């Protein structure tokens, strides 16, 4: 019987030992003819399908987020608490191209459900090769470690037609620095919101968004379990 995983940190340690520097392949069969896929989207999507199944093999009680259009994708259940989690994969030979969340959705959802700010992200970097791919990186990140300042905005952000669109991660491979703590992240999101006109500013002013979340996190049970430094 597999011993139950007790924390996401334990899960990340097990996966690092199991997967780092290990070779994988995705074979496509058509009319009985096998070919190895080297396409980034296929590798990333297959890993994101394979990993949750492996988590369950390792004894993790994992539930898909019932709200499929919201982030993150999963909820991990432990003996005395639950924690949001997500899986992100990227081509290690390039800068990460995945999105963390739509900016407007992030702004609204973190206000309504601040536990999302305390979720964990299991991140895998793979390097395609002629035999398939090699796992080069396995890491567990808090949200503020995965997000960081951008060149043009307080957070790394994709902007389309003058509107904030997708929150992008730091360059993990190059050890780009994320935010120091959850407060730095919240301040940067607040300041970014102020740069773009939107009905959301009238509905939920950035300063109110920030103050209410900070005050709410001080009594958040998950923040206490995760030993988040809340001043």
Q: Domains in the chain: how many in total?
A: 1
Q: Report if residue 145 sits inside a domain.
A: yes
Range of the domain at 79: 8-218
CA separation, residue 138 to residues 100, 106, 115, 123 (Å): 17, 25, 24, 6
- The answer to whether residue 139 sits within a structural domain is yes
Crossing angle (nearest 10°) for helices 103-112 and 206-217: 40
Instruction: Express each pLDDT in 5-64 by its tens digit.
Output: 889 999 999 999 999 999 999 998 898 898 888 888 899 999 999 999 999 888 888 999
Say what percent of the chain tops pLDDT 70: 95
Residue recorded with tokens 């290690």: 92
Task: Determine, yes or no, domain membership for 103.
Answer: yes
The per-residue pLDDT for 221 is 76
Q: Which of 150, 80, 90, 147 is nearest to 116 (CA)?
A: 147
14: CATH: 3.40.600.10
Residue 118 lies in a domain: yes
Mean pLDDT of 100-122: 93
| Range from 3-7, 94-98, 185-189 that averages highest in pLDDT | 185-189
Whether residue 1 is predicted with pLDDT greater than 50 in this model: the reply is no
Query: pTM of this prediction?
Result: 0.89
């Amino acid at each position: 019987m597999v011993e139950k995983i007790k924390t996401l940190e334990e899960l990340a340690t097990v996966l690092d030992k199991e997967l780092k520097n290990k070779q994988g392949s995705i074979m496509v069969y058509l009319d009985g003819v096998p070919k190895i896929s080297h396409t980034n989207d296929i590798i990333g999507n297959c890993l994101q399908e394979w990993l949750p199944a492996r988590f369950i093999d390792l004894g993790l009680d994992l539930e898909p987020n019932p709200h499929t259009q919201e982030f993150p994708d999963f909820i991990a259940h432990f003996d005395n608490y639950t924690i949001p989690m997500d899986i992100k994969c990227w081509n290690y030979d390039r800068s990460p191209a995945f999105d963390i969340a739509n900016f407007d959705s992030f702004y609204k959802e973190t206000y309504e459900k601040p536990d999302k700010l305390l979720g964990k992200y299991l991140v895998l970097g793979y390097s395609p090769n002629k035999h398939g791919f090699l796992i080069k990186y396995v890491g567990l990140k808090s949200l503020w470690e995965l997000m960081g300042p951008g060149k043009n905005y307080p957070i790394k952000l994709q902007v389309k037609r003058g509107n904030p669109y997708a929150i992008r991660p730091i360059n993990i491979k190059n050890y780009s620095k994320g935010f120091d703590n959850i407060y730095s992240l919240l301040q940067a999101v607040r300041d970014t919101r102020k740069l773009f006109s939107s009905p959301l500013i009238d509905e939920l002013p950035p300063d109110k968004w920030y103050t209410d979340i900070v005050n709410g996190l001080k009594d958040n049970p998950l923040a206490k379990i995760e030993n988040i430094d809340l001043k």
